[in-house]
Structure 1
Amino acid sequence: MLVVETIAKIRRAYFQDKKPIKQICREFRVSRKTVRKVIRSGVTEFSYERSVQPQQKIGPWRGQLDEMLAENARRAKRERLTRIRIYEELRALGYEGGYDAVRRYAATWVKSESEASAAAYVPLSFDPGEAYQFDWSHEIVVIEGATTTVKVAHVRLCHSRMLFVRAYPRETQEMVFDAHDRAFAFFGGACSRGIYDNMKTAVDTIFVGRDRAYNRRFQQMCGHYLVKPVACTPASGWEKGQVENQVGVIRRRFFVPRPRFKSYAELNAWLLDRFIAWAKAHP
C-alpha cells in the first residue's frame, strides 16, 4: 500500500517533471500498474481495511526509547550502553516486545541523528514558479464594535514577490486549506515547492535536518496541487524571510491604526483591494 507522500511524489514526477512511467517505476521501485493507477485515478490516498490490525509493541514506547537513546548518545563513548543493555532497561520499565524491534529502531535513530543537519538548507534564490512561502500572523481589528484578534494567512511567491493575504478567525487545518485554495486561484496556479515553518497543522514530528513527518491531510493537499512541502529549520526565520518581511509590512501598512469592519467578508474584501494596490505600487 502506497503512503500519501509516495503518491504525491509520483504525481509530481509525472505531471510536473514530465518523466516517463518507466523512469518513475525505477526511481520509486513500484510497478507500472501502480504508477498508472495513481495517474489515472487522480486520488491522493489509497486505503483498505485489514481483517486483523497488527499492534506493534514498541509503538507506545518510542518516546521513552528516544529519550534513552539521546541520553546515551550524550555520554562519553566508553560509558555508552550497548543496545542489548538499552533493551534490558526498557524491559525493566514494562516493555514486553522483543530485542529485534529495539535494535532496528535504535539503528534507524542513530542513522538519522548522524545526518549533518548543517548540510540541509533552503535556497534563497528562486526561478519563476519554483516556490512560495507561507506563514500566519495575529492582527487586531474591530469587528462589529468588538476588538478582535484575527489570524492572517500570508502567501508570497518567491520569484515575483507577489503576495496574497486573507484573514480568518482561527488557524485550523480547514483555514490552511482554504487559504491555499484561494491563493492558488488568485495566482493562477501553484508552485512546485511550498516553504513553511513547523506549524502543527502541517507537521506532526520534527526529525534531524529537513526530515519531517507531515500530517496526512496536509500531504493530501500538497499531493492534489503537486506541491512539495519544505519545512524550515526551527528558529531559522531567514529561510522564509520574504514572507516574514511581508508580515511586518502588512501590519504597519494595513493594521495600524486598528481598522473597523462589519464582518470578515468586508475585512477580506478590503484586504484584497489594499494588497493588490500596494503590490502595483511596489513591483
Structure 2
Amino acid sequence: MVEPLESQGEGDMRRLAAFGSAASAGFLVAALLGACGGPAGPGPTSPSMPSVPPLTSAPGATDVAPTEPPSAPSTPAPTAADWKTYKTSDGKLEFDHPAEWTVKDRGAEASPGAVFLEVLTAGGKSLATLRTNVATGAECTQRIPYSLLDLVPVPALVQQGVTPNFIFELRLYPAEKDPMKANVMAYGISSAPKPSGPDACPIFHFFTWPPSGASFGGVYNPFDTSPGNEPHVDTPEAYMETSEFKDIRKMITSLRPAGQ
C-alpha cells in the first residue's frame, strides 16, 4: 500500500530516493492530456479534465518507447477472471471490463449527443473516463522531459489510415519543488505521434473519432490510498506489474466499434 500522505516527512525522502533510481532507468512523468501535434479538431480547446496530484523524480529522459509490455515478473499478478461488455448509450462503441468494476453514466455532464462515462473499482476508485464528441486541438506551450512506459496499438479504432495507441506516459516539471506537483502520469488512447527527442509537449490523450474526437483513459497517482490498492506500489514501473493496471490496459485496448 502506498504510504498515506499524512505520514510524509521521512517517507517522502525514501520515495524521492526510490524515484531517483527509477529515473536513471528511464522513469519520468506523463500528463493526462496528450502530445504535441495532437490530431486536429473542430475547436481550439479541449474539455476540462480532472487535476492530477503528481510525484517527483530526477531529471532524465528517453526517446525510445517500448513496443511491447515489459517482461512479466517471476510471479505475475493475477488479472480479472470474469468480464462484461459495455455498450455506450449512443450504440456506437463498446468495451470489455472486469465484472466487479462499475460503469457510471455521466451523460448529463456531456455536451449534447456526446457520451461521458466513468469506470470505477468495486470500492469506488476512479480508473478511467470515456468521452466522445470532444475537441482535439492542442497547442505546444512548452517542452517537458518525458518518458514512455507502455505503447500498444489499438487497430479497431483506426480512422483516416491512422491507428491510435494505448499509451502510458510520464512528464517531469523540474522547476517544481513540491513532490505533489513535480510530475504527472497518465494512460489512455492517443492518435498523436509518439514523442521523440529529449523532451515533448504536454500530451493530449485524444483519438480521432467521428464527429471530432474521443478520449478513454485515466491517471496514475502513487500517493493514492484508496482501499484495495495493491501494496508496495510507489513507482509507475511497479504499478505496471499490478493486476489493476493490466486489467485497465486490457479494458482500454478492447474499445471498438459496437458489434465488432
The TM-score by the shorter chain falls in which range?
A: under 0.3
More helix per residue: 1 or 2?
1
Q: What TM-score do the two structures reach when normalised by structure 1?
A: 0.23
Q: TM-score normalized by structure 2?
A: 0.24
Select the structure with the greater relative contact order (CA < 8 A; seq sep ≥ 6).
2
Answer 1 or 2: which has greater strand percent.
2
Query: Which has the larger Rg?
Result: 1
